Structure 1
Amino acid sequence: MLTATDPTTGAVFFQQASLTPHEIEQRLAQAHLAFATWQHTTFDERAAVLRQVADKLRQQKSTLAHLTAKEMGKPVTQGEKEVEKAAGCAEYYADHAAHFLQQETLPSDASHSFVCYQPLGPILGILPWNMPVWLAFRYCVPALMAGNTCVMKHDPNTPQTAQAIADVFTAAQAPQGILVNLAIETQSVASVIEDARIAAVSFTGSSAAGRKVAATAGAALKPCVLELGGSDPCVIFADADIEQAANVAVQSRFNNSGQSCIAAKRILVEQSLYPSFIQELKKRVAQQIVGNPLAHDTQIGPLARDDLRQALHAQVQASITAGAHCLLGGKLPTESGYFYPATLLTDVTPNMPVFTEETFGPVMCVSVFKDAEQALKLANQTDYGLGASVWTSNQDLANRFAQGLNAGQVAINGLVKTDSRLPSGGIKNSGMGRELGPHGIREFVNTKQVWIK
């Protein structure tokens, strides 16, 4: 059973039976049959479909934003921006996929040798609840433009959003079967990965679940891209633009109610700046508005589930016990719903859960460093390696840090974010493979070498 619970109240408001084995078979057959035709379409033909999908998506922006607010608590204004970003991704690949996958001539001992990029088949996308529209499009758009079809297995917490995404493709009159909604429970995923018609897997979620997906896909000799958790450092030197650094750090940490893999989760501040920067952060964190996600002034909605809230609170309390100072928040609200206050922890050290573990919610933790060497050591002192940011006016220092940080993407004096134009992904427990940009569309193709005498 797929169950949608309103995190604002804790009340179940929608339930849907998981697909039966026969229905799963029908969906897989539909995607497989569609691939036989879709793989032979031209880039222009695929682009025309994706542009129409983008148009229909924008027309449904308000509906989708309200659905995500209702199903997982995203503030509605942020939900609208998410839908717009997804539509932009469709248009970006419609414009650039042909160039990214154009045939390449390479010199060799042949009369002519080249590399071409061909689609693989139906790609299974296993998606999370936290950015249900954007992450669906981040997975499916490059795959579709490469000539693959998509089998979308969305999170059981967001069944209506998943169906609404599939309905957008129907409204756009996309060829039947190029994207199918596989409404199943998590325990049924392994058999789908193993199905011979599934050519590859894209997974976004926790590191623990990612290992299981990778093991199942690996046993079936199928490629997979994994975008997993993160504990991103945000390193702030004393010569940084302090106002901008504080603004962006708070924006990064509390966007989507703190439920983002690439959020700035460990704020590392140079010793001479530490006391004054904490005050800058405190002022901004205190201004965060926690409330009903359907209200347009809300900045932080409820967390998606109560078990996530309880786990976050346990991390906070264990860190306070270990010596962290709680300047704001840190207490469970008594009203209904899965709300958690904007929380600011200072004097955080590497022995505390909020430093060593991923925190998924509106909790900012701040640590101090004495010099660049210690800052880099602290930044890399994590099992994750998704994103990182550095704030300094010293370009040489920034460049050295960018090279030394163990992360899949680094922002200097700016926000770590996903961008359709740039590859995104992590190392270590943050995953493998890349999404987006020219690199992302080449993850699910056959890079075929042709040698001619």
Structure 2
Amino acid sequence: MQAINPATELPLKNYPDHSDAQLLEAIVQAHQAYQDWKYVSFDERAKHMKRAAEVLRAEKDAFAKIMTEEMGKPLKDSEAEVEKCAWVCEYYAEHAAEFLKDEIIPTDAAKSYVSYRPLGIVLAIMPWNYPFWQVFRFAAPGLMAGNAAILKHAPNVPGCAEAIESVFKKAGFPKYLFTNLFITNEQTSKVIEHRHVKAVTLTGSTRAGKSVAAQAGALLKKCVLELGGSDPYIVLEDADLDLAVRTTVASRLKNNGQSCISAKRFIVPESIKEDFEQKLIVEMKSYTMGDPLAEETDLGPLVGKKYREQLADQVKRSIDAGAKCILGGEVPDMTGYYYPPTILTNVKKGMPAYEEELFGPVASVITVKDEAEALAVANDTSYGLGGAIFSKDEARAEQLAATRLEAGSCFVNAMVQSDPRLPFGGINESGFGRELSHHGIKEFVNAKTVYVK
């Protein structure tokens, strides 16, 4: 496998693929490591997980540089991602024992309770856009629960995959408990089929999620899927427009616009449309696009040429269907897979900018008559990952977010983001299952009933 630096379009280091024989041997070794690890105390597991956090912080600069070179996010964002990974390691080191303690349930027995026990090897199929975070948000709770892990990372971030494996080795985890494999999609199917592999977690496209879910389901293996999203951000008439614009733009351009939970559909009433759009133009123009290794850069390139071509095609088809481009919309004449901050207005149902996930720095502004139509448009999607509502009437906005907005995470006057303390995941074509919080660590355990008469 070989990554291409999206800022320079030049190849990076080569990584040898694993053969089928190596793959099978890795599974056997992971299973053997699990046989001992499942009986290790939470205190002992926590020592290693806290050490993992220390390794991440000690090597933050090196890890961040690998991320930026392989997928193009600004270096400061890569550094923040490494820090967030350290946080999730510490969080589960501190709370796993509490989350998975026996749950006493009074019955007619002398004693009855639920005991949470690990399942075995969990296969993690991970994407390139948050190449460290999305692995650690699975691995920290998974290993603390007593499971083993095999990582099949995206092929364009092999250096990140290798670096993540090194963190667990340096933290003193048992050999083979966390194993990275450089394998193809066809080989991944063989991993899922193996009898020692008990579950699968995938973060990626809806198409990939459906494929993995079909195979796992046929084998009666548990899976958790965090898939695409087309998050609606509703700006009500009484919203603080400056706050709404700052927040929605920060969300839309975060990670070079390549985030499942970024603001994608900007839903605004006709009465504030003009003011909102003018402020939106000013805010998006304020972001500096350029070399992601430079300190002043806010927006780097898209991860690859094909992704930029796809985004440009979605924008073109939307404009051809009647959308109006008021900022950006043209591929720049420069080295690197850059795409500028772009705003599409007059977006209507049926257009790619309305129906599809646009994975890049493109804002789709959808105008509505009132609050009722805003909510109808927000929920008019095959996805359901996140959403946000902006209003000075916080109580009203909270009520709408809690009861009317249909998504896995609904925020008020803030951008949708993941937090180790809160469950994270979607509904509909955004997937199922939850990661993070006590909900996430319980996804890959056996909730075993113990009954003593």
Q: Normalised by the shorter chain, which TM-score bucket?
A: over 0.9
Cα displacement string for residues 348-389 of structure 1 (whole angstroms, at most 9, x for unaligned residues): 112210110001011111111111110110000100000000
4+ aligned runs moved over 6 Å, structure 1: none
Cα displacement string for residues 17-69 of structure 1 (whole angstroms, at most 9, x for unaligned residues): 21011111221122111101110011111111000000001111111111111
Alignment pair present for 1:396 and 2:396: yes
Contact 1:234 1:267 in 2 (8 A): yes
Unaligned runs of 5+ in 1: none
Distance 1:313 1:240 in 2: 32
Contact 2:390 2:397 in 1 (8 A): no
The equivalent residue for 2:98 is 99
The equivalent residue for 2:126 is 127
User: Secondary structure of the equivalent of 2:197?
Assistant: coil
Cα displacement string for residues 86-105 of structure 1 (whole angstroms, at most 9, x for unaligned residues): 00000000111111111111
Cα displacement string for residues 253-306 of structure 1 (whole angstroms, at most 9, x for unaligned residues): 000000000001001012211110111111000111111111111111111111
Offset of 1:327 from its aligned partner?
1.1
The equivalent residue for 2:424 is 424
Distance 1:327 1:165 in 2: 41
Alignment pair present for 1:303 and 2:302: yes
Cα displacement string for residues 301-329 of structure 1 (whole angstroms, at most 9, x for unaligned residues): 11111111000000101111111111111
Q: Give the partner amino acid of 1:231.
A: S
Q: What is the TM-score of this pair, normalised by structure 1?
A: 0.98
Q: What is the TM-score of this pair, normalised by structure 2?
A: 0.98
User: Secondary structure of the equivalent of 1:282?
Assistant: helix
Unaligned runs of 5+ in 2: none
Offset of 1:399 from its aligned partner?
0.6
Contact 1:8 1:302 in 2 (8 A): yes
The equivalent residue for 2:65 is 66
Offset of 1:110 from its aligned partner?
2.1
Contact 2:5 2:11 in 1 (8 A): yes
User: Secondary structure of the equivalent of 2:186?
Assistant: helix
* Percent identity for Structure 1 against Structure 2: 46
User: Secondary structure of the equivalent of 1:290?
Assistant: coil
Contact 2:119 2:198 in 1 (8 A): yes
The equivalent residue for 1:276 is 275
Offset of 1:236 from its aligned partner?
0.5
Contact 1:376 1:401 in 2 (8 A): no
Distance 1:299 1:44 in 2: 41
User: Secondary structure of the equivalent of 1:358?
Assistant: coil
Distance 2:254 2:397 in 1: 28
Residue pairs, 1:110-149, within 5 angstroms:
110-149=109-148
User: Secondary structure of the equivalent of 1:31?
Assistant: helix
Distance 2:167 2:19 in 1: 24
The equivalent residue for 1:189 is 188
Alignment pair present for 1:375 and 2:385: no
The equivalent residue for 1:415 is 415
Distance 1:425 1:352 in 2: 26
Residue pairs, 1:258-277, within 5 angstroms:
258-277=257-276
The equivalent residue for 2:31 is 32
Offset of 1:154 from its aligned partner?
0.7
The equivalent residue for 2:439 is 439
Residue pairs, 1:323-402, within 5 angstroms:
323-394=322-393, 395-402=395-402
Residues paired across the two proteins, number? 452
Distance 2:173 2:141 in 1: 15
Distance 2:107 2:379 in 1: 41
Distance 2:42 2:207 in 1: 37
Q: Give the partner amino acid of 1:406.
A: E
The equivalent residue for 1:452 is 452
Cα displacement string for residues 396-431 of structure 1 (whole angstroms, at most 9, x for unaligned residues): 343134311110110011110000000000000000
